[in-house]
Amino acid sequence: MDKFALYVPQLLPFKEHFLPEAHRACMGCGIALGVRQTYKALEEKNEWMEGAHWEVPFKQPLPGSLIKGTKEVGEETRPALLQIEKDGQAHLLICFDNEAVTAKPTPAVFKKAFPAAAVARGFHYVATACPSYPFDLIDKVRRGMESEGNSYIHILSPCPVGWDFESEFTVQIGRFAVESAIFPLYEVVTGSPRLTIDHPKIRPVEQYIHLQNRFNHFKKKEILAIQAEVDSHYTKLQEGKL
């Protein structure tokens, strides 16, 4: 890393729109971190952000929805999508994914579906991001805001309670997810994905899985199967296919 790149946080606006007194997130919440960084990106671009604080449309999955699968999540977001298509205006749709709404924790399969579906629906700008890479996230939100058509951003937000790890590792686990290619960071502008962060050396998926107690039931065979799937997805992305 460049010696001066370390000081880049100082270039961001210091003003907070995301106020600590107005939200009730748990300690070390990945969603809160993601929302805060998103607000930093949107700042100065939108006057409507003034005074918005935490008071934004924000839907939280209820504990009862733990048993729901991808299909139900799709049905919940359908009214929003229909509204977007009706409006005729460009929208920015951001999904904060804390992986709470899966029937079984299956880390690799679930996440491909959403960006791919957004591309199939004709979104102009589709990207994945993670708050462990703040500048990448901020870049993508700004680009999504500037794009002429609709844009969709899928943000992985680690959840210390749901994933069962110590709260201080929130940022590190997000980094592990990206380094092990289980959640690759890419953006799709003209139909073909481009990796924005491409690590020369990919971690084994096992390291990411062993950090979290929710995956304690995984056996060696299952981890190998996940590894194979992640590898094939990642090589596809490197070739420019979704």
Partner 1 sequence: MAKKIPAAKTRGKHTWKDTKVGCVLLEEGKAKPFEPGEKPLLVPLWDKEMCVRCGLCYLFCPDAAIKRSDDGYYEATLDYCKGCGICHQECWFGAISMMEEA
Instruction: Pick one of 2, 13, 28, 47: the residue that binds partner 1 (CB under 8 A).
Output: 28
Give the number of C-alpha atoms closer than 13 A to the C-alpha of residue 197, restricted to the C-beta side.
Answer: 24
- Interface mask (CB under 8 A) for partner 1, residues 39-68, using x and -? --------------xxxx-x----------
Give the position of tokens 């309670």. 161
Residue 32 binds partner 1, judged by CB under 8 A: yes
Q: Which is nearer to partner 1, 34 or 184 (CB)?
A: 34
Interstrand relation of 193-195 and 151-156 (parallel, antiparallel or unpaired): unpaired
What burial letters (b/e) apply to 124-145, b meaning 16+ CB within 10 Å?
bbbbbbbbbbbebbbbbbebbb
Residue 30 binds partner 1, judged by CB under 8 A: yes
Choose the binding region for partner 1 from 27-35, 77-85, 94-102, 189-197 (rule: CB under 8 A): 27-35
Q: Which is nearer to partner 1, 146 or 166 (CB)?
A: 166
Residue 110 binds partner 1, judged by CB under 8 A: no
Q: Which is nearer to partner 1, 36 or 233 (CB)?
A: 36
Q: Which is nearer to partner 1, 16 or 85 (CB)?
A: 16
Q: Which two tokens stand for residue 115?
A: 């960006």
Instruction: Pick one of 44, 75, 87, 168: the residue that binds partner 1 (CB under 8 A).
Output: 168
Quick check: 111 and 184 in contact, CB under 8 A?
Answer: no
Q: Which is nearer to partner 1, 33 or 182 (CB)?
A: 33
Chain residues in the site for partner 1 (CB under 8 A): 6-7, 9-10, 12, 14, 16, 18-30, 32-33, 36-37, 53-56, 58, 134, 160, 166-172
